[in-house]
Amino acid sequence: MEDEDGYFGERVAATYDGTSGVFAPGAVQATAAVLAGLAGSGRALELAIGTGRIALPLACFRNAARHLEPGGCFVIECRVPELRRLPPGQDVLPWHVSEERWVSYSYDLATQAMRGHYVEFTGGRGEYSTMPFRYVWPAELDLMAQLAGMRLRDRWEGWDRQPFTGESSQHVSVWEKPAPLG
């Protein structure tokens, strides 16, 4: 059954995390270790993480900030749009090509909308599906966090805490709810 809104129907959810490496040896342990370290003796909640491999798949900065105690952290793992890879005049990037699957992404630079295009091959036949997304830059997330009363504490390329650079294709960002002044 497909979702009415076009996002993450059962067929998409069944394979969404399968090609990303998020379940590779050590990946879940690294994610859990970062969250446990941030929680200390308190609690950690990771939001906006696709199909929910570690925690809850929902996100709202203001809602997160309302539920955090001072010193509490809000953590998001997110891809960075790879717009630099777009050839001049083009709006589609290939992502994955194999005998079983083709994946590409189309971009609308004016609206920050993108669409995933998927072709799954079974028994010599291809089945096409598509999914809409909206991409967001790390600086936009920082502004949303600031408007919700949080501040950036850390940003890494991945759960192993590699430095985030201009070449990073993803980020793990940690915002903290500061203690009240006074």
pLDDT of amino acid 13: 62
Mean pLDDT of 155-171: 95
Handedness of CA 165, 62, 76, 176 (dihedral sign): positive
Q: Say what the pLDDT of residue 118 is.
A: 93
d(CA 107, CA 91): 5
Kindly report, residue by residue over 112-137, the tens digit of the pLDDT. 999 999 999 999 999 998 988 888 89
pLDDT, residue 104, reads: 95
Find out whether 105 and 116 touch, Cβ atoms under 8 Å. yes
Per-residue confidence at 36, pLDDT binned at 50, 70, 90?
confident
Residue 50 is predicted with a pLDDT of 53
pLDDT category, 41, cuts 50, 70, 90?
confident
pLDDT, residue 4, reads 62
- Residue ranges and CATH numbers for the domains of the chain are 10-80+137-176 (no CATH), 83-134 (2.20.25)
pLDDT tens-digit map of 58-113: 478 888 898 899 999 998 888 898 899 999 999 999 999 999 999 999 999 999 99
Q: Is 59 helix (H, G, I), strand (E, B) or coil?
A: coil
Tokens linked to 71 = 């010193």
Q: Are 22 and 53 in contact (CB under 8 A)?
A: yes
- State the pLDDT at residue 1: 44
What local confidence, expressed as pLDDT, does residue 175 receive? 94
DSSP conformation letters of 77-142: EEEPP-GGGSPTT--EEEEEE-SSEEEEEEEETTTTEEEEEEEEEETTEEEEEEEEEE---HHHHH
* pLDDT: which is higher, 78 or 11: 78
Edge-first strand listing for the sheet containing 125-134: 92-97, 101-108, 113-122, 125-134
In tens, the pLDDT along 147-161 reads: 999 999 999 999 999
How would you write 133-151 as a 3-class SS string? EECCCHHHHHHHHHHCCCE
Number of H helices, E strands in the chain: 4, 8
